[in-house]
Every structure is written in C-alpha cells, then in structure tokens.
C-alpha cells in the first residue's frame, strides 16, 4: 500500500479538524465569550477611568487572550486521545510532527484567529488609543500562533491525565512570559509614539523558532502519552 503524500495527509487532517470544529461550534464559542467576560471585568474591577484603562489596555487584552487560549488547549488532543483516533494517526505511518502541526494550525484558526478579529472591539472597550490598535492586531496576529504552538506541547503532555487542565495552565503560563512582555511593550510603545518594530521582529523570530521546534516536541509528548 502506498503512502499518500505529506501535503495530502496534512490537508485531509485539516479538513477533518474543521468539520469536527464546525459540528461542535457552541463549544468553540466558549473561550471567546470567556475572553469578552474577562475584559469586561477589568473596568468593573479597577474603575472606568479612561486614562487608567488606556494605560493597562495592552496588558489586559493580552492576558485575556492567554487565558482564553489556555482554556481551549485542554481539548486540543483530548477527544482524539479518548476515542483512539490519535493512536490510529500514529499507526498511519505519517510523521507525527506533521499530524501535530495540522492539529495546531486548526486550533489557531478556530481559537486564535477569532481573538484577532475580536481585538478591535476589546481595544474600544479598554479605551486603547488609536495609535495602538494596528500594533495590537499585528502583535496578536504573530503572537497567537506562538500561543497555539507552545500550548500544544503542554496539551500533549497532559492529554493522558484525568485532570490535565489545571496542570496545563501551570506548565504553559511561564513559557508565555517573554511573549507577553514583548507584545504588550510593542503596543505601549506604539501608543507613546515610540518605535515598536524591534519587539514585533522578536515575536516573529519566536514564532518561526516555535514553528520549527514545537511540532517535534508535541510529537514526542504525544508518543510518550500513548506509550
């Protein structure tokens, strides 16, 4: 029996993931609603002063994006693990890193991309000055793939555990620290009229590094969870 080409397998996996995502779309909305709720809590918690909100806006929006991503990470491999699909994928002979990458791309498209689309609304709520909005969108556009890529390693490590969700956040949040620092400082710099390309460039470099390394780490973690 001949193996299908890598790209064929990759696209087939993506299509399957989208179909599954479409069938349980209500579940996918939960992290986004969570994102909106978390951002709403901040003005209620710290007061509606526009200056204060504008000052903390980049941090608040980014932290809410981190929380929402981690919330959706737990289900990244879980259902495939529980119904045995993951095992079949490993046995299919296709490289496991490729399978992992397809899963990560699908996750970003259904969990990361909506955050980017919602971010102008969040910026409006948090009174982020106009100069910061394009940079916020840019930083999310190159930063959310990093969230999915690094998060997938944590998701794969905890997939065989009964209560993996809490552990997952403990594993993944420290790894997000550099991204949070760079992204929020880029937005703050743009608001104060300072150059921000350096920070965005570093995030981009981080994304490329994560893109090349994380699928292999995820594959190793999946193999370990299945052993």
Partner 1 sequence: MNPIYLFFHKTGSPPWFYRFAGKLIPWLWAGFVVLTAIGLYLGLLRAPPDYQQGESVRIMYLHVPAAWLSMMIYGMMAVTGFIALVWRIRIMEVLTISSAPVGAAFTIIALVTGSLWGRPTWGTYWVWDARLTSELVLLFLYIGVIALYNAYDEPRKAARAAALMAIVGAVNLPIIHYSVMWWNTLHQGSSIGTSGSSIHPSMLWPLVFMAFAFKFYYGANLLSRARLKLLAQDHRKRWVQELLSGKEK
CB of 28 to partner 1, least distance (A): 27
Whole-angstrom Cα distance, residue 221 to residue 138?
31
Write the CA distances from 35 to 61, 169, 223, integer angstroms.
8, 16, 32
Question: Of residues 48, 50, 84, 178, which one binds partner 1 by CB under 8 A?
Answer: 178
Interaction of residue 93 with partner 1, rule CB under 8 A: no
- Which residue bears the tokens 């981080």? 206
- 193 is an interface residue for partner 1 by CB under 8 A: no
Q: C-alpha angle 15/16/17, rounded to 5°?
A: 90
Core vs surface per residue 155-178: b (16+ CB within 10 A) or e: bbbbbbeeebbeebbebbbeebee
Q: Annotate each residue in 106-145 with x if it binds partner 1 (CB under 8 A) or - if it does not, as one string.
A: ----------------------------------------
Among 12, 46, 161, 208, binds partner 1 (CB under 8 A): 161
- Residue ranges that bind partner 1, judged by CB under 8 A: 150, 153, 157-158, 160-161, 163-164, 167, 170-171, 173-175, 177-178, 181-182, 185, 206, 213, 217, 220-221, 224-225, 227
């Amino acid at each position: 029996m001949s193996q299908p080409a890598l790209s064929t397998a990759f696209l087939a996996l993506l299509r399957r993931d989208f179909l599954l995502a479409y069938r349980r779309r209500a579940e996918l909305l939960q992290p986004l609603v969570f994102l909106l709720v978390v951002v709403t809590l901040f003005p209620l918690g710290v007061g509606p002063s526009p200056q204060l909100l504008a000052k903390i806006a980049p941090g608040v929006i980014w932290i809410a994006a981190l929380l929402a991503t981690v919330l959706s990470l737990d289900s990244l491999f879980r259902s495939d693990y529980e119904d045995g699909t993951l095992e079949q994928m490993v046995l299919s002979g296709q490289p496991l890193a490729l399978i992992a990458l397809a899963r990560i791309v699908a996750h970003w498209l259904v969990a990361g991309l909506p955050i980017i689309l919602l971010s102008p609304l969040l910026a409006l709520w948090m009174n982020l000055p106009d100069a910061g909005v394009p940079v916020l969108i840019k930083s999310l556009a190159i930063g959310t793939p990093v969230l999915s890529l690094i998060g997938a390693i944590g998701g794969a490590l905890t997939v065989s555990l009964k209560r993996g969700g809490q552990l997952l956040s403990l594993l993944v949040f420290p790894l997000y620290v550099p991204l949070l620092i760079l992204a929020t400082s880029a937005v703050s710099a743009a608001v104060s009229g300072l150059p921000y390309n350096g920070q965005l460039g570093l995030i981009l470099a981080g994304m490329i590094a994560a893109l090349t390394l994380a699928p292999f780490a995820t594959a190793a973690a999946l193999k370990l969870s299945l052993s």
